[in-house]
């Protein structure tokens, strides 16, 4: 089995973010062939193409972090039926300068949780559109829209409901399979 490094983005900057708890759970449940590490986005300034000639250190670090991983995973809330501005800002930084898009051919996945039944479905659809333009092969299936009920995931990432735990485990196994297929079809130069 191939081993890959996955950089995950948490779309929320909130201290008590339920998506951060989900990211922790996914890290625990990932197959041993996936090494998980966070790519932080909270310190990035707002992107402008004025920076293209000379990226600030936080944005350079972001691009280096994306380059250093085999795949990216977005664990994100839905804000106003789309993705949070902080996450879009990070993607904009990663996608530029023109011709140096960090996401091109980089396999990606998306998952998210919200207290409501919709489970971030609409926000995820927006992200699919964005990552298609960024030329990132994004896993189509399985989809994962997680309704966060109180206590579903403990602060240490332990998932308390067995069916959800097994589904998240299955999701990460599917993501591993997807990354393998992408690199089989599109070998790295
Ligand atoms: C600015 C804002 C917009 C939101 N918009 C949505 C929405 O469109 N759909 C939804 O299901 N929940 C929405 N919510 C509620 C979030 O799902 C909820 O706050 C959740 O805890 C966010 O995830 P986080 O804790 O990881 O930040 C919104 C919350 C905020 C702060």
pLDDT tens over the chain, length 189 residues: 799 999 999 999 999 999 999 999 999 999 999 999 999 999 999 999 999 999 999 999 999 999 999 999 999 999 999 999 999 999 999 999 999 999 999 999 999 999 999 999 999 999 999 999 999 999 999 999 999 999 999 999 999 999 999 999 999 999 999 999 999 998 887
CA–CA separation, 114 vs 116, rounded Å? Answer: 5
Distance 19 CA to ligand 1 centre (A): 10
Q: Is 85 in the pocket of ligand 1 (CB under 6 A)?
A: no
71-75/145-147 β-pairing: unpaired
Please report the pLDDT score of residue 119 as a whole number. Answer: 95
CA-closest residue to ligand 1 atom 28: 79
Taking the centre of ligand 1 as the mean of its atom positions, its distance from the CA of residue 55, in whole angstroms, is: 30
Sheet holding 108-114, edge to edge: 34-38, 4-10, 71-75, 108-114, 145-147
Nearest to 148 by CA among 130, 168, 129, 127: 168
> Best substitution site from 8, 78, 157 to test ligand 1's pocket, by max atoms within 8 Å of Cβ?
78
Q: Which atom of ligand 1 is nearest to the CA of 81?
A: 8
Task: Please say whether the beta carbons of 124 and 112 come within 8 A.
Answer: yes
For residues 49 and 93, give the distance between their C-alpha atoms in angstroms, rounded to a whole number.
9
Identify the pLDDT of residue 188.
Answer: 83
CB neighbours of 171 closer than 8 A, spacing ≥ 6?
A: 26, 111, 142, 144
Instruction: Output the CA 17–ligand 1 centroid distance in Å.
Output: 10
Nearest by Cα to 94 from 119, 74, 118, 110: 74
- Tell me the CA–centroid distance for residue 146 and ligand 1, in Å: 13
Instruction: Outline where DSSP puts E strands in the chain.
Output: 4-10, 34-38, 71-75, 108-114, 145-147
**Predicted pLDDT at 67:** 98
């Amino acid at each position: 089995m191939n081993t890959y490094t996955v950089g995950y983005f948490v779309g929320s900057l909130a201290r008590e973010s339920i998506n951060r708890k989900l990211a922790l759970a996914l890290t625990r449940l990932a197959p041993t062939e996936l090494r998980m590490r966070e790519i932080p986005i909270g310190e990035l300034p707002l992107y402008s193409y004025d920076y293209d000639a000379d990226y600030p250190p936080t944005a350079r670090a972001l691009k280096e972090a994306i380059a250093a991983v085999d795949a990216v995973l977005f664990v994100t809330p839905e804000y106003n039926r789309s993705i949070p501005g902080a996450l879009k800002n990070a993607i904009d930084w990663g996608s530029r300068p023109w011709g140096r898009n960090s996401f091109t051919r980089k396999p990606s996945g998306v998952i998210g949780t919200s207290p409501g039944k919709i489970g971030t479905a609409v926000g995820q659809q927006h992200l699919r559109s964005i990552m298609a333009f960024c030329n990132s092969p994004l896993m189509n299936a399985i989809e994962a829209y997680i309704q966060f009920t109180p206590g579903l995931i403990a602060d240490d990432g332990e998932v308390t409901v067995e069916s959800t735990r097994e589904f998240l485990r299955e999701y990460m196994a599917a993501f591993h399979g997807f990354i393998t297929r992408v690199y089989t079809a599109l070998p790295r130069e």
